[in-house]
Structure 1
Amino acid sequence: KRLPFVSMFRGSANYIANHRNTLAVYHIPGGLLDQPGNNVFRDLMNDIALTWLLGMKIVLVVGCRHQIAKRVAQHQSDSSLEENLQSRHGLRVTDEKTLRIVKEEAGYVRFEVERQLARSLRMQGGGMGNAPGVGSTGQGYYDGNVVSGNFYSAQPFGILDGVDFKYTGFVRRVEVEWIRQKHNNRDICLMTTLGVSPSGEVFNVNSEALAASVAGALEASKVIYFTEQEMELRHTQHGKKIQSLRMSDANNLLEYSGVTIHKKGFVQLDDELHEMDKAALDMLLKIGWSVQALEMGVKRAHIISPKHGALLQELYTRDGSGLLISGDLYDGIRRANVHDVAAIHDLISPLIQMGTLIDRPKSVLEKDVESYYVFTRDNHIVASGQLKIFENGFAEIGCLVVNQGYRSRGRGDAMLGYLERLCLVNSCSSIFVLSTQTMEWFVERGFDEVGVDRLPPSRQATYNYKRNSKIYM
């Protein structure tokens, strides 16, 4: 009897392979360190260590805004500290007194992350230097340390709207080669919000902006922002959870909500947003920093809860767990319209002639066009896919075709991933495909062969036994 773990682990294999040797920047807000019971923080460190064990290159950016706010609250008699705490453009005025607190709290969160993550790495096998299979360096593949240092330099923010922000700064330069050297040694790089200028001055940098800048400079595969409270986007009409946004959609949401993120690392908010629920505003700001990272060249941004293994579910399962914002993978994918029918027909005709696809006359394509999606590049359709929704939570993906000149560039995977996300939006729990030629491609992506009896009743009624397509679910 197949155990649930076996099916789950096999289904994760493709994601493990895809993420191996990719670079991710994790942003950890300081509030996670003080969650009740500390289990949330400990479990998150265990999950991060597991992603490292599975071959990911990791940079951690840890904030301490929560700890600073607590310290300032303890000095209520000092009005200057309280005034500095008030956020202007998403920034604090950091004078000498505040900088002293920032240094102490940044040191605290750095120590706690190093302590817990070092423990997690040992538990995951990070101390196996003498294990079989050591490389030419004499170190085992599983050796790794948490390394902190001056991985970036900072410069003063200066004066904005007549306000001198003093020791508040922003990223000047990321030491890319130094970080890559550490990753070559299988080390995890840890950064705090304290950046040093070439002249030796220390500046307090916004941690979310730091994560975006570092991810962009390193050309990271993804940047992941953890929330302090569980928060999700839901559609205003049908109330379903939104699990993915294209960068253009995220920008539209920010514009509609009155949030502007500036590249120097500060935020402008419409007046009414200052009264918004703190967790909801934090979600909007993380979307804003995610967009900034994407504009710097990061491929994907994720906003997820740190609880219940959400990181592992987001990275290694088809369903995901949080919000994915993509600037390249899904950019250019849209629902087809009647003006696309001729181009779709031209794209699929060679495969129809080869017998790989069943014939779809233009009249049929035009009738069903709203079930088709196209991947465009410079207004030219380079890939297509069809999504049909059936009863009992079933969905069929079909007509998945990529222009021959664009194959082996991830377009097919992008279209498949996009359609899978749409299935989730439509509350579909089972996805199936029919194929006579491309079976292995779907098997490699986690599909299993099933019988006709596994199809929903309405699809069983239209199954073409003469064509005898194989079914994968």
Structure 2
Amino acid sequence: MQQSELDFINTLRQSSRYIEQHRGKTCVIYLPGRFLLSRDSVTQFSQDVGLLYNLGLKIVLVMGASPQLDHAFSEAKIDWRLHHQFRITPTELIPLFQQTIGLLRSQLEATFSQANCQQPNPPTLVSGNWVIAQPKGVIEGIDFQHTGKLRKIRHQSISDCLDSGQVALLTPIAYSLTGEVFNLNTLEQACEIASAIEADKLMIYGSPQQLKDLPKQLSIPQLNRIMSRPANNEQARLLTQVSHTNNKVKRVHLMDQDNPSALLLELFSRDGSGTLIFSDRYHQLRDASIEDVGGILGLIEPLEQDGILVKRSRERMELEIDNFIVIERDQLIIGCAALYLNDDNMAELACLAVHPQYQGQELGSELLKAIEVKATENGANKLFLLTTHTHHWFIEHGFNLANVSVLPDKKQSLYNYQRQSKVLVKTL
């Protein structure tokens, strides 16, 4: 069997649990206009949405159009004014606005039809007047005219559309109760719709500037800290908008708009492709402090007694506490792990433990990911560990069995041959 075939089989096996997790879930996907500029990206995205649809996901697409509108008005030699990054939309520009959005939507629908012609059950894109708009109004003396904001979302109608087996598509165009046409901010629209229908996931394609220096995962407290010191104004606007959804949408995924494979990687791979913002966990992962020594010792003592972990004294724990991270819930330490750095770009993972009452909640995976991030940030390109009981779990998470000889020299000299620990290594 060729390596490519083995890779495919392993990937399929890894993704199987995610397929079941996502079945029947509702997902709102925001497509910025810049993403839609690439025909290849749109074709691949259309195929991927067709796959998600056939795997049982309910999908809402919200389509932006900023660069397309810029191009259309530039070609028409029309200057479209901005105020606080929002377009001012006068009445005379509405026909060209509708024409540009209509053309872009038609192109997307055509691509969907072509990309999914081989699907056993191809998805159908459906649009509707699900969003009721109202004028944005006069701000700082500036009348935004036909630039609008959301007044009401007919969320039950959207849910009915999804339940009937359709893919819902929304654009920047929305209408008021009096029939006026308005230009809406589509990122805001995507976030509000996700909240209104209580979507399981909101997936947003963002620019490199918006995603700059964001970690793989963010809890709400961590999100708030980053919002207090964002990398740039674009990131600040994105995170501020996303933060408004946290009461209703438990998981927000931020993906690179320049990576056409991001959608499937984010949903069906262990490490994802972008940044996950979650509000459905009632715990905090953080660096350990000296006050955590007692909690960590209480957590690992049963494992030490069973011979699963090497015994650590309180004195040693106090000296090495800066190497530890912990998961805390309601002032109880329910998980821990330690990272020890070496001079040869190999780092050691040690003392990974999760409280028995909280096992089965992916906390071990969360600790491992955090350790991998810290190791990479400190220049390590490989992570190793010694274990006597749990090597299967680590193999499932990307580690490979190795010989003692691969360990750093200092670690080899301390290896306990009576304990016969298995050596596992993962390339970061």
Give TM-score scaled by structure 1 length: 0.76
Deviations 1:259-290 (A, max 9, x none): xxxxxxxxxxxxxxxxxxxxx65454334333
Indicate the residue corresponding to 1:17 in structure 2.
Answer: 17
Q: Which residue identity is paired with 1:112?
A: Q
Q: Does the CA contact (< 8 Å) of 2:253 and 2:274 recur in 1?
A: no
* Corresponding residue SS for 1:408: coil
The whole-number CA distance in structure 2 between the counterparts of 1:340 and 1:471 is: 28
What residue identity is the alignment partner of 1:115? A
**2:32 maps to which residue?**
29
Match for 2:237 among 276, 281, 285?
A: 285
- Provide the C-alpha distance between the structure 1 equivalents of 2:379 and 2:274, rounded to a whole number of angstroms: 15
Q: Which of 74, 84, 98 pairs up with 1:103? A: 98
- Tell me how far apart the structure 2 counterparts of residues 398 and 330 of structure 1 sit (CA, whole Å): 25
Q: Which residue of 2 aligns with 1:406?
A: 358
Q: Which residue of 2 aligns with 1:468?
A: 420
Among the aligned pairs, what percent are the same residue?
27
Query: How many angstroms does 1:143 deviate by?
Result: 4.7
Q: Which deviates the most, 458-467 or 108-117?
A: 458-467
Matches for 1:328-339 after TM superposition, within 5 Å: 332-339=284-291
Q: Is the 8 A contact 1:294 1:301 kept in 2?
A: no
Supply the distance in 2 between the matched residues of 1:109 and 1:422 (Cα, whole angstroms).
43
Task: Give the whole-Å Cα distance in 2 for the aligned partners of 1:155 and 1:422.
Answer: 47
Distance in 2 of aligned mates of 1:11 and 1:394: 26
| Paired residue secondary structure (2:87) | coil
Give distance in 1, aligned partners of 2:195 and 2:412.
Answer: 49
Deviation at 1:338, TM superposition (A): 1.1
The 3 A distance-change label for structure 1 pair 112 and 340 is: same
Asked if 1 retains the 8 angstrom alpha-carbon contact of 2:156 and 2:197, the reply is no
Deviation at 1:210, TM superposition (A): 1.2
Structure 1 residues 74-223: aligned runs within 5 Å: 74-76=75-77, 82=79, 85-123=80-118, 125=119, 128=120, 142-223=121-202
Confirm or deny: 8 A CA contact 1:230 1:305 kept in the other structure. no
Post-superposition shift, 1:315?
Answer: 3.9
Structure 1 residues 15 and 171: alpha-carbon distance in aligned structure 2, compared to 1, 3 A threshold: farther
Contact 2:32 2:63 in 1 (8 A): yes
Compared CA separation, residues 366 and 148, structure 1 to 2 (3 A): same
Deviations 1:362-400 (A, max 9, x none): 212112211211112233322212223445554443322
Is the Cα–Cα contact under 8 Å of residues 330 and 415 in structure 1 kept in the other structure?
no
CA distance in 2, matches of 1:437, 1:329: 28
Amino acid of the structure 2 residue aligned with 1:68: L
Contact 2:50-2:122 at 8 Å conserved across structures: no
- Letter in structure 2 aligned against 1:215: A
| Residues 395/49 of structure 1: CA separation in 2 closer, same or farther (3 Å cut) | farther
**By how many angstroms is 1:304 displaced?**
0.8
Q: Deviations over 1:193-229 (max 9, x none)?
A: 2223445443321011112222233433433332466
Partners of 1:4 and 1:459 lie apart in 2 by: 35
The one-letter code sitting in structure 1 at the alignment partner of 2:58 is K
1:146–1:334 distance in 2 versus 1, CA, 3 Å? same
Counterpart Cα distance in 2 of 1:287 and 1:438: 38
The answer (yes or no) to whether the contact 1:32–1:228 under 8 Å persists in 2 is no
Structure 1 residue 72 displacement after superposition: 2.3
Closer, same or farther: CA 311–430 of 1 in aligned 2, 3 Å: farther
Amino acid at match of 2:83: R
Task: State the 1:29 CA deviation.
Answer: 1.6
| CA RMSD between the two structures | 3.4
Q: How many residues align?
A: 422
- Asked if the contact 1:153–1:195 (Cα under 8 Å) also holds between the matched residues in 2, the reply is yes
Which residue in 1 is equivalent to 2:47?
A: 46
1:118-165 per-position Cα deviation (integer Å, ceiling 9, x unaligned): 322224x2xx2xxxxxxxxxxxxx453222223433333333223333
Q: Report the Cα distance in structure 2 between the residues aligned to 1:90 and 1:179, rounded to whole angstroms.
A: 29
Residue 205 of structure 2 corresponds to which residue in structure 1?
A: 226
Q: Report the Cα offset of residue 424 of structure 1.
A: 4.1
CA distance in structure 2 between the partners assigned to 1:407 and 1:89 by the alignment: 48
Name the counterpart of 1:65. Answer: 66
Give the deviation of 1:117 after TM superposition. 2.2
**C-alpha distance in structure 1 between counterparts of 2:282 and 2:369, whole Å:** 8
Supply the distance in 2 between the matched residues of 1:354 and 1:286 (Cα, whole angstroms).
48
- The AA in structure 2 aligned to 1:30 is G
Relative to structure 1, is the Cα distance of residues 329 and 421 closer, same or farther in structure 2, using a 3 angstrom cutoff?
Answer: farther
CA distance, structure 2, for counterparts of residue 388 and residue 144 of structure 1:
50
Unaligned runs of 5+ in 1: 129-141, 235-240, 259-279
Secondary structure of the residue aligned to 2:60 is strand
Q: Which amino acid aligns with 2:186?
A: S
SS in 2 for 1:397: strand
Compute the displacement of 1:341 (Å): 0.8
CA distance in structure 2 between the partners assigned to 1:54 and 1:461 by the alignment: 51
**Distance apart, 1:333 and its partner CA:** 1.0
Which of 277, 295, 306 lines up with 1:354 in the alignment? 306
Q: Distance in 1 between matches of 2:413 and 2:264?
A: 39
- Letter of the 2:150 partner, please give it: V
TM-score, structure 2 as length reference: 0.83
Alpha-carbon distance in 1 for matches of 2:166, 2:135: 30
Find the aligned partners of 1:229 and 1:347 in 2 and give their Cα distance.
Answer: 40
Q: Distance in 2 between matches of 1:220 and 1:162?
A: 37
CA shift at 1:344, angstroms? 1.0
DSSP-derived class of the 2:116 partner: helix
AA paired with 2:259?
Answer: K
Corresponding residue SS for 2:188: helix
Q: Give the SS at the match of 2:14.
A: helix
